[in-house]
Protein backbone atom coordinates (compact mmCIF):
# COMPACT_ATOMS: atom_id res chain seq x y z
CA UNK A 1 0.00 0.00 0.00
CA UNK A 2 1.44 3.37 -1.03
CA UNK A 3 1.67 6.02 1.64
CA UNK A 4 1.12 9.58 0.44
CA UNK A 5 2.04 12.20 2.96
CA UNK A 6 -0.76 14.73 2.66
CA UNK A 7 -3.28 15.85 5.26
CA UNK A 8 -6.11 13.87 3.67
CA UNK A 9 -4.27 10.55 3.70
CA UNK A 10 -2.94 11.14 7.20
CA UNK A 11 -6.53 11.41 8.37
CA UNK A 12 -7.87 8.46 6.39
CA UNK A 13 -4.74 6.26 6.69
CA UNK A 14 -3.32 6.77 10.18
CA UNK A 15 -1.50 3.41 9.96
CA UNK A 16 1.08 4.93 7.56
CA UNK A 17 2.17 7.60 10.04
CA UNK A 18 2.13 5.03 12.82
CA UNK A 19 4.38 2.73 10.82
CA UNK A 20 6.88 5.53 10.23
CA UNK A 21 6.88 6.34 13.95
CA UNK A 22 7.39 2.69 14.90
CA UNK A 23 10.18 2.37 12.33
CA UNK A 24 11.91 5.43 13.75
CA UNK A 25 11.71 4.01 17.28
CA UNK A 26 13.08 0.64 16.15
CA UNK A 27 15.98 2.24 14.29
CA UNK A 28 16.78 4.42 17.28
CA UNK A 29 16.84 1.35 19.53
CA UNK A 30 19.06 -0.49 17.05
CA UNK A 31 21.50 2.40 16.90
CA UNK A 32 21.62 2.65 20.67
CA UNK A 33 22.21 -1.10 21.03
CA UNK A 34 24.94 -1.23 18.37
CA UNK A 35 26.71 1.80 19.77
CA UNK A 36 26.59 0.35 23.27
CA UNK A 37 28.05 -2.94 22.08
CA UNK A 38 30.97 -1.24 20.39
CA UNK A 39 31.70 1.60 22.81
CA UNK A 40 30.83 0.36 26.29
CA UNK A 41 30.38 -3.39 26.56
CA UNK A 42 33.73 -4.26 24.99
CA UNK A 43 37.21 -3.42 26.25
CA UNK A 44 38.94 -1.00 23.92
CA UNK A 45 42.64 -1.10 23.07
CA UNK A 46 44.21 2.13 21.93
CA UNK A 47 46.94 1.49 19.39
CA UNK A 48 49.27 3.65 17.37
CA UNK A 49 50.42 2.65 13.91
CA UNK A 50 53.93 1.97 15.23
CA UNK A 51 52.53 -0.38 17.88
CA UNK A 52 50.48 -2.22 15.29
CA UNK A 53 53.53 -2.66 13.06
CA UNK A 54 55.60 -3.98 15.98
CA UNK A 55 52.87 -6.48 16.87
CA UNK A 56 52.55 -7.58 13.25
CA UNK A 57 56.30 -8.17 12.95
CA UNK A 58 56.18 -10.35 16.06
CA UNK A 59 52.85 -12.15 15.66
CA UNK A 60 51.72 -12.17 12.04
CA UNK A 61 51.23 -15.80 10.99
CA UNK A 62 52.09 -15.18 7.33
CA UNK A 63 55.42 -13.70 8.36
CA UNK A 64 56.09 -16.58 10.74
CA UNK A 65 55.54 -19.03 7.89
CA UNK A 66 57.78 -17.09 5.51
CA UNK A 67 60.58 -16.79 8.10
CA UNK A 68 61.28 -20.49 7.74
CA UNK A 69 62.17 -20.17 4.04
CA UNK A 70 65.64 -18.63 4.58
CA UNK A 71 66.36 -21.19 7.31
CA UNK A 72 65.43 -24.03 4.97
CA UNK A 73 67.51 -22.52 2.17
CA UNK A 74 70.52 -22.15 4.49
CA UNK A 75 70.26 -25.78 5.59
CA UNK A 76 70.09 -26.82 1.94
CA UNK A 77 73.23 -24.78 1.22
CA UNK A 78 75.07 -26.43 4.10
CA UNK A 79 73.91 -29.81 2.88
CA UNK A 80 75.29 -29.03 -0.59
CA UNK A 81 78.74 -28.50 0.97
CA UNK A 82 78.52 -32.00 2.39
CA UNK A 83 79.78 -33.39 -0.91
CA UNK A 84 83.28 -32.29 0.14
CA UNK A 85 83.16 -34.32 3.34
CA UNK A 86 85.28 -37.45 2.91
CA UNK A 87 84.23 -40.74 4.45
CA UNK A 88 86.47 -42.39 7.01
CA UNK A 89 86.42 -46.17 6.81
CA UNK A 90 87.97 -48.91 8.91
CA UNK A 91 87.67 -52.64 8.53
CA UNK A 92 89.13 -55.74 10.16
CA UNK A 93 88.90 -59.29 8.91
CA UNK A 94 90.03 -62.71 10.08
CA UNK A 95 90.14 -65.66 7.68
CA UNK A 96 91.08 -69.34 7.97
CA UNK A 97 91.83 -71.72 5.13
CA UNK A 98 92.45 -75.46 5.57
CA UNK A 99 93.75 -77.37 2.55
CA UNK A 100 93.10 -81.09 2.03
CA UNK A 101 95.73 -83.76 2.67
CA UNK A 102 98.02 -84.98 -0.09
CA UNK A 103 98.35 -88.67 -0.89
CA UNK A 104 101.80 -90.20 -1.26
CA UNK A 105 102.82 -93.59 -2.58
CA UNK A 106 102.52 -96.64 -0.43
CA UNK A 107 99.27 -95.48 1.18
CA UNK A 108 100.83 -92.57 3.05
CA UNK A 109 99.43 -89.00 3.08
CA UNK A 110 100.60 -85.56 4.20
CA UNK A 111 98.15 -83.47 6.25
CA UNK A 112 96.89 -80.34 4.52
CA UNK A 113 98.15 -76.89 5.35
CA UNK A 114 96.29 -74.46 7.62
CA UNK A 115 96.47 -70.75 6.90
CA UNK A 116 94.99 -67.97 9.00
CA UNK A 117 95.14 -64.28 8.24
CA UNK A 118 94.24 -61.02 9.96
CA UNK A 119 93.72 -58.01 7.72
CA UNK A 120 93.10 -54.42 8.77
CA UNK A 121 92.51 -51.45 6.50
CA UNK A 122 91.49 -47.84 6.86
CA UNK A 123 90.73 -45.14 4.36
CA UNK A 124 89.81 -41.51 3.94
CA UNK A 125 87.80 -40.94 0.83
CA UNK A 126 86.90 -40.93 -1.87
CA UNK A 127 86.88 -37.16 -1.42
CA UNK A 128 86.33 -34.18 -3.67
CA UNK A 129 88.06 -30.78 -3.74
CA UNK A 130 86.47 -27.47 -4.80
CA UNK A 131 88.50 -27.53 -8.03
CA UNK A 132 87.21 -30.91 -9.10
CA UNK A 133 90.06 -33.15 -8.01
CA UNK A 134 89.13 -36.43 -6.35
CA UNK A 135 91.40 -38.12 -3.83
CA UNK A 136 91.47 -41.41 -1.98
CA UNK A 137 93.76 -42.26 0.95
CA UNK A 138 94.07 -45.95 1.73
CA UNK A 139 96.21 -47.99 4.15
CA UNK A 140 96.20 -51.69 4.87
CA UNK A 141 98.18 -54.31 6.72
CA UNK A 142 97.79 -58.10 6.70
CA UNK A 143 99.31 -60.80 8.87
CA UNK A 144 99.29 -64.41 7.62
CA UNK A 145 100.30 -67.37 9.74
CA UNK A 146 99.83 -71.14 9.82
CA UNK A 147 101.63 -74.38 9.14
CA UNK A 148 102.17 -76.93 6.43
CA UNK A 149 103.90 -80.35 6.32
CA UNK A 150 106.67 -81.93 4.31
CA UNK A 151 108.73 -85.16 4.35
CA UNK A 152 112.44 -85.01 5.06
CA UNK A 153 115.11 -87.24 3.56
CA UNK A 154 114.59 -89.85 6.23
CA UNK A 155 110.91 -90.09 5.43
CA UNK A 156 109.73 -88.34 8.54
CA UNK A 157 106.79 -85.88 8.51
CA UNK A 158 108.11 -82.40 9.30
CA UNK A 159 105.76 -79.49 10.25
CA UNK A 160 106.66 -76.16 8.67
CA UNK A 161 105.11 -73.22 10.56
CA UNK A 162 105.11 -69.83 8.85
CA UNK A 163 104.18 -66.20 9.58
CA UNK A 164 104.58 -63.05 7.52
CA UNK A 165 103.13 -59.56 7.37
CA UNK A 166 102.68 -57.07 4.55
CA UNK A 167 101.09 -53.66 4.17
CA UNK A 168 100.88 -50.48 2.12
CA UNK A 169 99.83 -46.83 2.31
CA UNK A 170 98.85 -44.86 -0.79
CA UNK A 171 97.08 -41.83 -2.15
CA UNK A 172 95.24 -41.75 -5.48
CA UNK A 173 94.42 -38.48 -7.28
CA UNK A 174 92.29 -37.72 -10.32
CA UNK A 175 92.13 -34.23 -11.83
CA UNK A 176 89.74 -33.34 -14.69
CA UNK A 177 91.16 -30.90 -17.24
CA UNK A 178 88.15 -30.06 -19.41
CA UNK A 179 84.74 -31.38 -18.36
CA UNK A 180 84.08 -30.77 -14.65
CA UNK A 181 87.14 -28.52 -14.34
CA UNK A 182 85.58 -25.02 -14.24
CA UNK A 183 82.35 -26.25 -12.70
CA UNK A 184 80.91 -29.61 -11.85
CA UNK A 185 77.72 -30.97 -10.34
CA UNK A 186 78.57 -30.21 -6.69
CA UNK A 187 79.75 -26.68 -7.45
CA UNK A 188 76.60 -26.12 -9.50
CA UNK A 189 74.45 -27.24 -6.56
CA UNK A 190 76.33 -24.98 -4.13
CA UNK A 191 76.12 -21.88 -6.31
CA UNK A 192 72.43 -22.46 -6.98
CA UNK A 193 71.83 -22.99 -3.25
CA UNK A 194 73.56 -19.67 -2.48
CA UNK A 195 71.42 -18.01 -5.11
CA UNK A 196 68.23 -19.49 -3.66
CA UNK A 197 69.23 -18.42 -0.15
CA UNK A 198 69.38 -14.80 -1.32
CA UNK A 199 66.11 -15.34 -3.18
CA UNK A 200 64.36 -16.61 -0.03
CA UNK A 201 65.67 -13.66 2.01
CA UNK A 202 64.23 -11.26 -0.57
CA UNK A 203 60.95 -13.19 -0.47
CA UNK A 204 60.82 -12.70 3.30
CA UNK A 205 61.61 -9.01 2.91
CA UNK A 206 58.84 -8.68 0.33
CA UNK A 207 56.40 -10.44 2.66
CA UNK A 208 57.34 -8.04 5.46
CA UNK A 209 56.85 -5.02 3.21
CA UNK A 210 53.52 -6.25 1.88
CA UNK A 211 52.26 -7.13 5.35
CA UNK A 212 53.22 -3.72 6.72
CA UNK A 213 51.60 -1.98 3.76
CA UNK A 214 48.38 -3.95 4.21
CA UNK A 215 48.47 -3.08 7.90
CA UNK A 216 49.09 0.61 7.20
CA UNK A 217 46.19 0.78 4.80
CA UNK A 218 43.95 -1.22 7.13
CA UNK A 219 44.89 1.17 9.96
CA UNK A 220 43.97 4.18 7.82
CA UNK A 221 40.71 2.49 6.88
CA UNK A 222 40.05 1.90 10.58
CA UNK A 223 40.49 5.61 11.28
CA UNK A 224 38.20 6.33 8.35
CA UNK A 225 35.60 3.86 9.68
CA UNK A 226 35.60 5.45 13.15
CA UNK A 227 35.33 8.95 11.69
CA UNK A 228 32.53 7.73 9.43
CA UNK A 229 30.66 6.64 12.55
CA UNK A 230 31.15 10.12 13.99
CA UNK A 231 29.91 11.70 10.76
CA UNK A 232 26.77 9.57 10.83
CA UNK A 233 26.23 10.36 14.51
CA UNK A 234 26.39 14.06 13.72
CA UNK A 235 23.90 13.46 10.92
CA UNK A 236 21.56 11.73 13.39
CA UNK A 237 21.95 14.61 15.84
CA UNK A 238 21.14 17.19 13.14
CA UNK A 239 18.13 15.20 11.99
CA UNK A 240 16.79 14.67 15.52
CA UNK A 241 17.36 18.31 16.34
CA UNK A 242 15.27 19.30 13.31
CA UNK A 243 12.58 16.80 14.29
CA UNK A 244 12.36 18.35 17.75
CA UNK A 245 12.24 21.89 16.37
CA UNK A 246 9.58 20.92 13.83
CA UNK A 247 7.48 19.24 16.53
CA UNK A 248 7.40 22.51 18.45
CA UNK A 249 6.42 24.40 15.31
CA UNK A 250 3.61 21.94 14.63
CA UNK A 251 2.34 22.40 18.18
CA UNK A 252 2.09 26.16 17.71
CA UNK A 253 0.64 25.79 14.22
CA UNK A 254 3.66 27.28 12.45
CA UNK A 255 4.43 24.11 10.47
CA UNK A 256 2.31 21.55 8.66
CA UNK A 257 2.44 17.96 10.02
CA UNK A 258 3.68 16.79 6.62
CA UNK A 259 6.89 18.75 7.00
CA UNK A 260 7.43 17.21 10.43
CA UNK A 261 7.10 13.71 8.97
CA UNK A 262 9.71 14.52 6.34
CA UNK A 263 12.20 15.34 9.10
CA UNK A 264 11.35 12.13 10.94
CA UNK A 265 11.92 10.17 7.75
CA UNK A 266 15.35 11.74 7.35
CA UNK A 267 16.15 10.97 11.00
CA UNK A 268 15.26 7.30 10.46
CA UNK A 269 17.47 7.17 7.36
CA UNK A 270 20.36 8.72 9.27
CA UNK A 271 20.00 6.12 12.01
CA UNK A 272 20.11 3.36 9.41
CA UNK A 273 23.28 4.86 7.95
CA UNK A 274 24.79 4.96 11.46
CA UNK A 275 24.05 1.26 11.93
CA UNK A 276 25.81 0.50 8.64
CA UNK A 277 28.81 2.63 9.69
CA UNK A 278 29.05 0.81 13.04
CA UNK A 279 28.95 -2.53 11.26
CA UNK A 280 31.70 -1.45 8.86
CA UNK A 281 33.81 -0.30 11.82
CA UNK A 282 33.55 -3.74 13.42
CA UNK A 283 34.55 -5.42 10.17
CA UNK A 284 37.56 -3.12 9.76
CA UNK A 285 38.67 -3.81 13.33
CA UNK A 286 38.75 -7.51 12.45
CA UNK A 287 40.94 -6.78 9.42
CA UNK A 288 43.52 -5.09 11.66
CA UNK A 289 43.30 -7.85 14.28
CA UNK A 290 44.01 -10.49 11.66
CA UNK A 291 47.26 -8.74 10.78
CA UNK A 292 48.61 -8.06 14.27
CA UNK A 293 47.90 -11.27 16.17
CA UNK A 294 48.22 -15.02 15.79
CA UNK A 295 45.67 -15.66 18.57
CA UNK A 296 42.49 -14.15 17.18
CA UNK A 297 40.32 -15.45 20.03
CA UNK A 298 42.04 -13.15 22.54
CA UNK A 299 41.15 -10.10 20.45
CA UNK A 300 37.74 -11.13 19.13
CA UNK A 301 35.70 -9.15 21.68
CA UNK A 302 38.09 -6.21 21.95
CA UNK A 303 37.55 -2.91 20.25
CA UNK A 304 40.38 -1.05 18.57
CA UNK A 305 40.83 2.70 18.81
CA UNK A 306 43.57 4.13 16.62
CA UNK A 307 45.48 6.95 18.23
CA UNK A 308 46.57 8.31 14.86
CA UNK A 309 44.67 10.72 12.67
CA UNK A 310 44.26 11.17 8.96
CA UNK A 311 46.38 14.09 7.82
CA UNK A 312 47.47 15.34 4.42
CA UNK A 313 51.15 16.29 4.55
CA UNK A 314 52.26 17.86 1.32
CA UNK A 315 54.89 15.89 -0.57
CA UNK A 316 56.91 16.78 -3.60
CA UNK A 317 56.97 13.89 -6.05
CA UNK A 318 59.99 13.13 -8.24
CA UNK A 319 58.99 10.49 -10.76
CA UNK A 320 62.54 9.85 -11.96
CA UNK A 321 63.83 9.37 -8.41
CA UNK A 322 60.92 7.09 -7.58
CA UNK A 323 61.70 5.02 -10.67
CA UNK A 324 65.33 4.78 -9.64
CA UNK A 325 64.38 3.53 -6.20
CA UNK A 326 61.87 1.04 -7.54
CA UNK A 327 64.30 -0.41 -10.10
CA UNK A 328 67.07 -0.85 -7.52
CA UNK A 329 65.21 -1.65 -4.28
CA UNK A 330 62.13 -3.65 -5.17
CA UNK A 331 62.57 -7.26 -3.97
CA UNK A 332 60.69 -8.58 -7.01
CA UNK A 333 63.16 -7.19 -9.54
CA UNK A 334 66.09 -8.29 -7.39
CA UNK A 335 64.61 -11.77 -7.34
CA UNK A 336 64.21 -11.64 -11.12
CA UNK A 337 67.90 -10.74 -11.43
CA UNK A 338 68.77 -13.69 -9.20
CA UNK A 339 66.82 -15.88 -11.61
CA UNK A 340 69.03 -14.52 -14.40
CA UNK A 341 72.10 -15.34 -12.33
CA UNK A 342 70.88 -18.86 -11.68
CA UNK A 343 70.17 -19.40 -15.36
CA UNK A 344 73.71 -18.19 -16.13
CA UNK A 345 75.19 -20.65 -13.65
CA UNK A 346 73.25 -23.49 -15.23
CA UNK A 347 74.36 -22.43 -18.72
CA UNK A 348 78.01 -22.37 -17.60
CA UNK A 349 77.68 -25.91 -16.26
CA UNK A 350 75.92 -27.21 -19.36
CA UNK A 351 78.55 -25.67 -21.63
CA UNK A 352 81.30 -27.34 -19.60
CA UNK A 353 79.56 -30.70 -20.01
CA UNK A 354 79.93 -30.44 -23.80
CA UNK A 355 83.71 -30.77 -23.50
CA UNK A 356 85.39 -34.20 -23.68
CA UNK A 357 86.33 -35.94 -20.46
CA UNK A 358 90.12 -35.51 -20.07
CA UNK A 359 91.53 -36.65 -16.72
CA UNK A 360 94.98 -37.00 -15.24
CA UNK A 361 95.41 -39.60 -12.53
CA UNK A 362 98.25 -40.68 -10.29
CA UNK A 363 98.88 -43.03 -7.41
CA UNK A 364 101.76 -42.89 -4.94
CA UNK A 365 102.49 -44.94 -1.86
CA UNK A 366 104.80 -47.17 0.15
CA UNK A 367 104.96 -50.91 0.75
CA UNK A 368 106.08 -52.70 3.84
CA UNK A 369 106.64 -56.29 4.93
CA UNK A 370 107.96 -58.24 7.86
CA UNK A 371 107.47 -61.17 10.09
CA UNK A 372 104.88 -59.29 12.18
CA UNK A 373 102.63 -56.29 12.00
CA UNK A 374 105.25 -54.10 13.57
CA UNK A 375 107.74 -54.99 10.86
CA UNK A 376 105.37 -53.97 8.06
CA UNK A 377 104.45 -50.73 9.77
CA UNK A 378 108.09 -49.95 10.40
CA UNK A 379 109.00 -50.32 6.71
CA UNK A 380 106.04 -48.17 5.67
CA UNK A 381 107.12 -45.55 8.14
CA UNK A 382 110.68 -45.62 6.79
CA UNK A 383 109.33 -45.17 3.23
CA UNK A 384 112.03 -47.38 1.75
CA UNK A 385 109.82 -49.20 -0.74
CA UNK A 386 107.81 -46.63 -2.71
CA UNK A 387 105.52 -47.34 -5.62
CA UNK A 388 103.71 -45.01 -8.00
CA UNK A 389 101.75 -44.83 -11.22
CA UNK A 390 100.35 -42.01 -13.36
CA UNK A 391 98.56 -41.62 -16.62
CA UNK A 392 95.66 -40.02 -18.40
CA UNK A 393 92.39 -40.94 -20.05
CA UNK A 394 90.20 -39.28 -22.64
CA UNK A 395 86.50 -39.90 -23.24
CA UNK A 396 84.86 -38.21 -26.25
CA UNK A 397 81.10 -38.68 -26.84
CA UNK A 398 80.45 -39.30 -30.52
CA UNK A 399 77.32 -37.15 -30.84
CA UNK A 400 76.86 -35.56 -27.38
CA UNK A 401 73.20 -34.89 -28.18
CA UNK A 402 72.12 -34.63 -24.55
CA UNK A 403 74.75 -32.08 -23.53
CA UNK A 404 74.31 -29.90 -26.62
CA UNK A 405 70.55 -29.73 -26.24
CA UNK A 406 70.95 -28.98 -22.56
CA UNK A 407 73.03 -25.95 -23.57
CA UNK A 408 70.34 -24.73 -25.96
CA UNK A 409 67.69 -25.19 -23.28
CA UNK A 410 69.77 -23.20 -20.79
CA UNK A 411 70.28 -20.41 -23.33
CA UNK A 412 66.53 -20.14 -23.84
CA UNK A 413 65.95 -20.15 -20.09
CA UNK A 414 68.50 -17.36 -19.65
CA UNK A 415 66.87 -15.25 -22.38
CA UNK A 416 63.50 -15.83 -20.77
CA UNK A 417 64.85 -14.71 -17.38
CA UNK A 418 66.30 -11.55 -18.93
CA UNK A 419 62.94 -10.72 -20.49
CA UNK A 420 61.30 -11.28 -17.13
CA UNK A 421 63.56 -8.59 -15.65
CA UNK A 422 62.51 -6.21 -18.42
CA UNK A 423 58.88 -7.01 -17.70
CA UNK A 424 59.37 -6.20 -14.04
CA UNK A 425 61.05 -2.92 -15.00
CA UNK A 426 58.04 -2.02 -17.12
CA UNK A 427 55.51 -3.03 -14.45
CA UNK A 428 57.35 -1.21 -11.66
CA UNK A 429 57.62 2.01 -13.65
CA UNK A 430 53.96 1.79 -14.59
CA UNK A 431 52.89 1.13 -10.98
CA UNK A 432 54.96 4.03 -9.63
CA UNK A 433 53.61 6.36 -12.30
CA UNK A 434 50.07 5.37 -11.34
CA UNK A 435 50.85 5.80 -7.64
CA UNK A 436 52.25 9.30 -8.14
CA UNK A 437 49.23 10.38 -10.16
CA UNK A 438 46.89 8.83 -7.60
CA UNK A 439 48.66 10.54 -4.71
CA UNK A 440 48.64 13.92 -6.46
CA UNK A 441 44.96 13.61 -7.31
CA UNK A 442 44.11 12.49 -3.76
CA UNK A 443 45.98 15.44 -2.28
CA UNK A 444 44.10 17.88 -4.49
CA UNK A 445 40.84 16.10 -3.65
CA UNK A 446 41.52 16.59 0.06
CA UNK A 447 41.64 20.36 -0.39
CA UNK A 448 38.54 20.33 -2.60
CA UNK A 449 36.48 18.18 -0.22
CA UNK A 450 37.56 20.26 2.78
CA UNK A 451 36.32 23.40 1.03
CA UNK A 452 33.10 21.62 0.05
CA UNK A 453 32.51 20.60 3.68
CA UNK A 454 33.09 24.13 4.91
CA UNK A 455 30.68 25.53 2.33
CA UNK A 456 28.10 22.90 3.26
CA UNK A 457 28.34 23.85 6.93
CA UNK A 458 27.85 27.51 6.10
CA UNK A 459 24.97 26.74 3.74
CA UNK A 460 23.18 24.64 6.38
CA UNK A 461 23.59 27.32 9.03
CA UNK A 462 22.16 29.94 6.67
CA UNK A 463 19.22 27.73 5.65
CA UNK A 464 18.39 26.97 9.28
CA UNK A 465 18.20 30.71 10.03
CA UNK A 466 15.85 31.12 7.07
CA UNK A 467 13.68 28.29 8.40
CA UNK A 468 13.52 29.96 11.81
CA UNK A 469 12.40 33.18 10.07
CA UNK A 470 9.82 31.29 8.01
CA UNK A 471 11.65 31.97 4.75
CA UNK A 472 12.63 28.36 4.00
CA UNK A 473 11.18 24.87 4.19
CA UNK A 474 12.03 21.70 6.05
CA UNK A 475 12.72 20.00 2.71
CA UNK A 476 15.53 22.46 1.92
CA UNK A 477 17.05 22.13 5.39
CA UNK A 478 16.99 18.34 5.07
CA UNK A 479 18.68 18.60 1.72
CA UNK A 480 21.39 20.79 3.25
CA UNK A 481 21.88 18.26 6.04
CA UNK A 482 22.31 15.45 3.55
CA UNK A 483 24.77 17.56 1.57
CA UNK A 484 26.81 18.29 4.72
CA UNK A 485 26.92 14.62 5.71
CA UNK A 486 28.05 13.66 2.21
CA UNK A 487 30.71 16.40 2.23
CA UNK A 488 32.08 15.25 5.59
CA UNK A 489 32.22 11.66 4.37
CA UNK A 490 33.97 12.67 1.15
CA UNK A 491 36.56 14.67 3.07
CA UNK A 492 37.64 11.81 5.34
CA UNK A 493 37.50 9.43 2.38
CA UNK A 494 39.87 11.70 0.46
CA UNK A 495 42.25 11.79 3.45
CA UNK A 496 42.12 8.01 3.69
CA UNK A 497 42.81 7.64 -0.03
CA UNK A 498 45.77 10.04 0.12
CA UNK A 499 47.47 8.26 3.02
CA UNK A 500 46.91 4.88 1.37
CA UNK A 501 48.31 6.20 -1.90
CA UNK A 502 51.51 7.31 -0.15
CA UNK A 503 51.79 3.89 1.49
CA UNK A 504 51.34 2.11 -1.85
CA UNK A 505 53.90 4.37 -3.52
CA UNK A 506 56.41 3.52 -0.82
CA UNK A 507 55.79 -0.20 -1.39
CA UNK A 508 56.21 0.11 -5.15
CA UNK A 509 59.41 2.12 -4.62
CA UNK A 510 60.71 -0.57 -2.27
CA UNK A 511 61.25 1.99 0.53
CA UNK A 512 58.60 0.83 3.03
CA UNK A 513 61.09 -0.46 5.61
CA UNK A 514 63.45 2.49 5.16
CA UNK A 515 60.61 4.98 5.53
CA UNK A 516 59.43 3.40 8.77
CA UNK A 517 62.94 2.92 10.17
CA UNK A 518 62.72 -0.89 10.22
CA UNK A 519 66.09 -2.64 10.16
CA UNK A 520 65.59 -5.83 8.16
CA UNK A 521 68.07 -8.58 8.96
CA UNK A 522 67.78 -12.32 8.47
CA UNK A 523 69.27 -14.18 11.41
299 and 153 belong to one structural domain: no
On whether the CB atoms of residues 170 and 135 are closer than 8 A, the answer is no
295 and 421 belong to one structural domain: yes
Confirm whether 32 is domain-assigned: yes
Confirm whether 353 is domain-assigned: no
CA distance 84 to 134: 10
Q: What is the pTM of this model?
A: 0.80
486-496 pLDDT, tens per residue?
899 999 999 99
Confirm whether 78 is domain-assigned: no
165 and 31 belong to one structural domain: no
Reduced to 3 states (helix: H, G, I; strand: E, B; else coil), residue 104 is coil
CA distance 262 to 399: 93
Closest CA to 282 of 309, 298, 307, 305: 305
CATH number at residue 24: 1.20.1600.10
Confirm whether 148 is domain-assigned: yes
Confirm whether 171 is domain-assigned: yes
Indicate the number of domains in the chain: 2
Confirm whether 96 is domain-assigned: yes
At residue 127, what are phi and psi to the nearest 5 degrees?
Answer: -120, 165
312 and 376 belong to one structural domain: no
On whether the CB atoms of residues 125 and 137 are closer than 8 A, the answer is yes
280 and 308 belong to one structural domain: yes
Q: How does pLDDT run along the chain (523 residues), one tens digit per residue? A: 334 433 333 333 334 343 334 334 444 444 444 443 444 467 889 999 999 999 999 999 999 999 999 999 999 999 999 999 989 999 999 998 887 777 666 666 777 778 888 899 999 988 999 999 999 999 999 888 777 777 666 766 777 777 888 889 999 999 999 999 999 999 999 999 999 999 999 999 999 999 999 999 999 999 999 999 999 999 888 888 878 877 877 777 766 676 677 778 888 888 998 999 999 999 999 999 999 998 888 888 889 999 999 999 888 999 999 999 999 999 999 999 999 999 999 999 999 999 999 999 999 999 988 777 777 888 888 888 899 999 999 999 888 899 999 999 999 999 999 999 999 999 999 999 999 999 999 999 999 999 999 999 899 899 888 877 777 777 788 788 888 888 999 999 999 999 999 999 999 999 999 999 988 887 6
Reduced to 3 states (helix: H, G, I; strand: E, B; else coil), residue 330 is coil
Residue 153: give the domain boundaries.
Answer: 88-129+133-178+358-395
pLDDT above 90 covers what percent of the chain?
57
228 and 373 belong to one structural domain: no
158 and 219 belong to one structural domain: no
Confirm whether 334 is domain-assigned: yes
145 and 272 belong to one structural domain: no
Amino acid sequence: MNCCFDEMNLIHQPSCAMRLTVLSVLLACSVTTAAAQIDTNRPVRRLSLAECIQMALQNNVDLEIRRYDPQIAEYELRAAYGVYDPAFSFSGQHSRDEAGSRLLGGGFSIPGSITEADRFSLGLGPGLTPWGMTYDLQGSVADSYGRSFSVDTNGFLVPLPFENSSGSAQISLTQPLLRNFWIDGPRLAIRVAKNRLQYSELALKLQVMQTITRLEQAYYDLIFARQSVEVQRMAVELAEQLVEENRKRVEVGALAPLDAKQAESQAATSRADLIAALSQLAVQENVVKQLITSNYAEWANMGLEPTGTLTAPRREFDLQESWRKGLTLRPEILQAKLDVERAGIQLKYDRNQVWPQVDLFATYGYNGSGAEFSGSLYEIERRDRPFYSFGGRVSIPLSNVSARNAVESSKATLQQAVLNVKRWERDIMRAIDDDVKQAQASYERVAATRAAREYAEEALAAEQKKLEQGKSTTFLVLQMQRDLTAARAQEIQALDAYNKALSQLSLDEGTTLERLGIDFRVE
